[in-house]
Structure 1
Amino acid sequence: MVSYADVRRWNADRLDAVHSDLGKRRDELINLQDELDGARNPDGWTGEAAQRSAEQHRRLMEDMRSLVAEVATVRAAVATAADDVTALKRRVDTTDHEAHAHGFQITEDGGVRDVAPPQNIPADQLDQVKAERTRVRDDLVAEIEKILDQAEAIDAELAKALTAADEDQIKPGEGTSLADAAETDELEALAASAGKPAGTSPQAVSDWWTSLSDDQRAAVLETTPKMLGNLDGIPATIRDKANRDRISDERTALRARKTELARKGELSDSEQKEFDGLDAKLKSLDKVEETLDKGDRQLLVLDSGGERMKAAVAVGDVDSADHVSVFTPGLTSTVDGSLSGYDNDMAKLVQDARNQLATEGEDESVAAVTWIGYEAPQIDESMADVVGDERDSVASAQSAEEGGKKLNGFLGGINASRDEDPHLTAIGHSYGSTTTGYALQQGGHGVDDAVLYGSPGSGADSVKDLHVPEGHAYRMEAKWDPVADLGRFGDDLTHQDGYRDLSTEDSRYGEGVTGHSDYLNEDTTSQHNVAAVAAGLPDNIQHGSDPGAGDVISQGTKTVIDSAETAVDTGEKVVDGVGDGIGWTIDKAKDVF
């Protein structure tokens, strides 16, 4: 009999840990296939001893296949239980909060005590208050009964799977290998019954996932984790489970490919490039695991295709956070070289946003994602990638456009996967701001605020093209940031109307920053401002425009031309108009330099 106190102590995180551990055990067992194959009778061995040896090998293989099937089945049951416990715990928390708000206390056995009845009630309101409290108590009692019934069902289902495994009642999947054994008839049937999403949009994916039973979801997670891990519209907790489970398989596949290439001896240029890339991908997996080990993290993208590894890691719970930010970095960003540092930045940003919310008396949660879900441009020793026209060049918009399509789906998937949309903020730095701009231009992303900083351009002709609410697009430029003055992808944001400016100078909120790379440094005005936007606290923003030399020169040129045109229109000397424009430029330049 499950008690209310038992449910309060239930811990979905522990079940998730068991789920992950069972996945590792399953993989370890499956990886014994080569050893088992090597233990078969050698060719040409005959006789009674050979027959006994072959029989023992067959029995060992059957036992191993049964064990793999049992682990796979129990693992799927644990996944179902973990999801059910997570939902049940939220229900318990809501019920406890409701009880406390009305002066009741739910006891460990599920009883309801009136511990703080209202005092000094006017006589003419006494009956009404009494009736209302009776209603609240009865509602609490009814909800507690439903919670305990659900808890009993969760416990019974998990016990059923454990009993079946303990009593050898689970039939391995068809085939002869250990890997085949994991695909039991029951799991395969459930996964097949789940079908596929009706479309590729995040909403279509979410509708499909929502339509599945808990057992179908667990079966799909067990049999096709690669599909779920990178599918926009799937809840973050499920993507995290699926991607974590794939890390070991990805590492094994990358090592196998590396061994295959090494055996060839002399490699072609393309093969050598692939070989070198495999090392970077393996290092990327190491960095992913190191980042996850920091705790309170979710792995929302894991993609080893293409030249470089792609990944996205969240600080906090994207499924439940009131405020979710997605940060896209730019030039030279890679998973192996950049994920850990940017993750630290996001952790500090989340903490700053939480602190600002607490100061305002808001009890709201925050999560932030480092999204390296595209292959950002790199710089090679010859600097060719910076000035060239190839896809991997920072001078080309192709990576930003391709990455923007992926980012758009990722952003839309966050809203689609949740019952209630969070306050969603898109943050882009440098070339990542261009990628973010291309993502936002496609619409359908559900972004509430956008922050573009150190930006060479958003790729949009107007802030309206970003499809964010009016007044909720922000730009930020520090002095001596040459990239922010390039205007390489559309107009320099400084000269586009509709953005709100975030200060990067000294203020009561922190120190100022200069250059291109220090915007998210701790205890700076710029970090405070980004955190304020991420927390949905516009009143906390320190506004201010900090034009750089490039802005002055650009605006000065325009002023000279405008002054000359005005002189012509008014019949004055052009030289006088040009002089006025140059004078304006010199005065502004003094402020910058």
Structure 2
Amino acid sequence: MSLDDEVRRAGARRWVGRAAEGAAAELAGLREQLEDRLMEISAVRRGLFEAADAITGVRAAVEAVEAFARANGLSISETGTVTDVEGPGRRYATQHDADVADAERRGLVQECVTRMDQAVRKAAEVDADLCRVLRSGVLGSQLAAQDPASLRAATQVGDAFGDDGLYAPPSGGPDGMGTAAQNAGWWDSLSPAEQRAVVYKHPEWIGNRDGVPARFRDQANRIRLGQESASVDQQIAVLEAQRDYRRQQVIEAMRNHGGGGGYVGADDPDIYADLDKQLDRLREQKAALATVTTLAGQPGHQILGLDLTRGRPQAIVAVGDVDTAKHVAVFTPGLGSSVAGMEGYDGHMRELQLRASRLANGDSVAAVTWIGYQSPQVDPGSLASGNSVALAGAAKDGGNHLAEFYRGINASRSTDPDLTALGHSYGSTTTGYALQQPGTGVDRAAFFGSPGLGVSTTDQLNVPTGTASYAEAKWDPVGDLDRFGADPTVMPGMNQLQTGAAMAPPGSAYAGHQLDGVTLHTAYLNDGSTSQYNLATVVADRQDVAVRGTNFGYTDQDGWWHP
């Protein structure tokens, strides 16, 4: 029997008179006091429980900051000042390397400060929430206003009041999603229970949030796949019903006005132009979701991004474990790339992953296909919209987001991976703009079939000297456009990778293998090709067994384009 039942039964005796009325009044007052006390006790109990769990996240965040500082040669004073201990004493072969390293070290100091800020923010929020709940112990106004129907309801009201909820992620940064360092610090400040709750209750918070570990982004995006698919299907059904209804209205109107049987002009596309435009966008989203769902079902894949809020769908898919792989490659495709057609890129990344792992003597490799920007399409309206392959706008915007994705990979791991940036065609331009930003943590870059990197020299890219490579196939006209900066084929300091037929050199895991040559613009990642092999050597950090050499492009061969 519950306490509520006992109180009710105490007043159920069959007696009447003034004593009975007085007893009933006393019992009603007692019951109201019990409700108040139960609300207060339940609120405080839940508040203390929530605070105890939340504070484990704060402790973990502090320990993570300390580990970050130790791992990166930083010192944190008792007042919270972060100092670079190891950086000032280092020596570098070139001034460029010194500048790149200096920017990296400043970035590490700032990241350490940002992570501390997130730990302090969480601690302050825990303190404020607990104070709010404890004040309810003297029946704060919010609780006093409640009128529960039973003593059990009173405990439920108190529990709800004492539940602090989840701590929202940072804002700011690209698209209001916080910077990679902010997000990493916020995630570290959550207890394991809070992290699980975010994944299942708010997957939209972290699915596209750089700085959150890949495995959690993957879990969140798998949940979002189902949610987004159901939403898109529902929207399509509504719009198709509206279209059918509009058609029936047109037919009826034409019948009423003697429109030659009523069907002439009922299928005029102009009548449905607004609905068809919305339907086309939703069907593109549906196709994109179907592709990502297929990739999510394949072994060893992680879904690191899914965004339907921009003009065209965007997605980021990895093969391999980005959280643990020793080598991580991020590939950015160019003109015409779409999420719906992502399976082909993913297949190339799977093959490149296997090649690179073998060249790296079995070390783990993860390869990411990054379509996290509005890549230009082969569309007559693209120039008018500003999203044209002839313009740099999409590459610059994409470069900002790509740079933050690079930072996020490093920020989400306790140990930095060996990180390679890969860019093809307009994607190489996007990659070039990303690498002009400091502190991306990229160790090497390889570009292929590029219309330009947005720079005139490799010193303008924030990667170490001698770590930028370029491959250009014979008869590839895009590689000679010089549309966005200098032609990488003739750029000083750029390693030139062979794309013609060749033999894998001694010392390579593929020594003695015949490698196929490629031509034109789209074959660079063909399995078994010289260009694929060379790109794998870059990813595996085995440039010592790369096949060097320049393959002239479409116009380089005759020499008239470049004097």
**1:290: Cα distance to partner?**
1.0
Aligned to 1:379: 378
Which of these residues, 434, 446, 453, is aligned with residue 451 of structure 1? 446
More helix by share: 1
Which of these residues, 321, 331, 338, is aligned with residue 334 of structure 1? 338
Cα distance change of structure 1 residues 262 and 471 upon mapping to structure 2, 3 Å threshold: same
Count of aligned residue pairs for this structure pair: 369
Which of these residues, 261, 278, 284, is aligned with residue 282 of structure 2? 278
CA contact (8 A) 1:474 1:500 kept: yes
1:182-197 equivalent positions in 2, closer than 5 A: 189=163, 191-193=165-167, 196=170
**1:223: Cα distance to partner?**
1.9
Distance in 2, matches of 1:550 and 1:433, equals 19
Q: Partner letter of residue 303 of structure 2?
A: L
Distance in 1, matches of 2:232 and 2:293, equals 16
CA contact (8 A) 2:556 2:562 kept: no
Aligned to 2:217: 239
Aligned to 2:363: 364
Partner SS for 2:277: helix
CA contact (8 A) 2:222 2:296 kept: no
Higher relative contact order (CA 8 A, sep 6+): 2
Partner deviation per Cα, 1:6-51 (whole Å, 9 max, x = no partner): xxxxxxxxxxxxxxxxxxxxxxxxxxxxxxxxxxxxxxxxxxxxxx
Q: Partner letter of residue 330 of structure 2?
A: V
Partner deviation per Cα, 1:313-371 (whole Å, 9 max, x = no partner): 1000000000000001111111112x10110000000000111122xxxx421000011
Unaligned runs of at least 5 residues, structure 1 = 1-76, 78-83, 85-183, 560-593
Which of these residues, 469, 486, 497, is aligned with residue 474 of structure 1? 469
CA contact (8 A) 2:169 2:205 kept: no
Tell me, yes or no, if structure 1 residue 346 matches structure 2 residue 381: no
CA contact (8 A) 1:274 1:307 kept: no
Distance in 1, matches of 2:460 and 2:399, equals 14
1:62-141 equivalent positions in 2, closer than 5 A: none
Which of these residues, 528, 531, 535, is aligned with residue 530 of structure 1? 535
**1:307: Cα distance to partner?**
2.5
Aligned to 1:208: 186
CA contact (8 A) 1:188 1:219 kept: no
Cα distance change of structure 1 residues 468 and 523 upon mapping to structure 2, 3 Å threshold: same
Cα distance change of structure 1 residues 542 and 270 upon mapping to structure 2, 3 Å threshold: farther
Which of these residues, 524, 527, 545, is aligned with residue 540 of structure 1? 545
Which of these residues, 413, 428, 434, is aligned with residue 429 of structure 2? 434
Aligned to 1:418: 413
Partner SS for 1:551: coil
Distance in 1, matches of 2:489 and 2:437, equals 22
CA contact (8 A) 2:170 2:182 kept: no
Unaligned runs of at least 5 residues, structure 2 = 1-52, 54-59, 61-157, 247-270, 505-514
Distance in 2, matches of 1:187 and 1:548, equals 69
Partner deviation per Cα, 1:190-235 (whole Å, 9 max, x = no partner): 6434664787210111111112211111122222111101000000
**1:490: Cα distance to partner?**
1.3
Distance in 2, matches of 1:479 and 1:316, equals 32
Partner SS for 1:550: coil
Q: CA RMSD in A?
A: 2.5
TM-score, with structure 2 as normaliser: 0.62
**1:558: Cα distance to partner?**
5.5
Tell me, yes or no, if structure 1 residue 310 matches structure 2 residue 311: no
Partner SS for 1:336: coil
Identity of aligned residues (%): 43
Distance in 1, matches of 2:410 and 2:161, equals 30
Partner SS for 1:222: helix
Cα distance change of structure 1 residues 256 and 190 upon mapping to structure 2, 3 Å threshold: same
1:495-506 equivalent positions in 2, closer than 5 A: 495-506=490-501
Aligned to 2:198: 220
Distance in 1, matches of 2:181 and 2:492, equals 33
Aligned to 1:519: 524
Partner SS for 2:385: coil
Aligned to 2:63: none
Distance in 2, matches of 1:489 and 1:329, equals 16
**1:472: Cα distance to partner?**
0.5
**1:272: Cα distance to partner?**
2.3
Cα distance change of structure 1 residues 342 and 185 upon mapping to structure 2, 3 Å threshold: farther
Aligned to 2:456: 461
Q: Partner letter of residue 516 of structure 1?
A: H
**1:378: Cα distance to partner?**
1.1
Aligned to 1:292: 296
Partner SS for 2:556: helix
Which of these residues, 239, 243, 251, is aligned with residue 229 of structure 2? 251
Cα distance change of structure 1 residues 521 and 191 upon mapping to structure 2, 3 Å threshold: farther
CA contact (8 A) 1:197 1:208 kept: no
TM-score, with structure 1 as normaliser: 0.59
Partner SS for 2:447: strand
**1:514: Cα distance to partner?**
0.7
Q: Partner letter of residue 262 of structure 1?
A: E
**1:465: Cα distance to partner?**
1.8
Distance in 2, matches of 1:395 and 1:285, equals 29
**1:549: Cα distance to partner?**
3.7
CA contact (8 A) 1:391 1:398 kept: yes
**1:481: Cα distance to partner?**
0.2
Tell me, yes or no, if structure 1 residue 483 matches structure 2 residue 478: yes
Aligned to 1:30: none
Q: Partner letter of residue 378 of structure 2?
A: I
Which of these residues, 309, 325, 329, is aligned with residue 325 of structure 1? 329
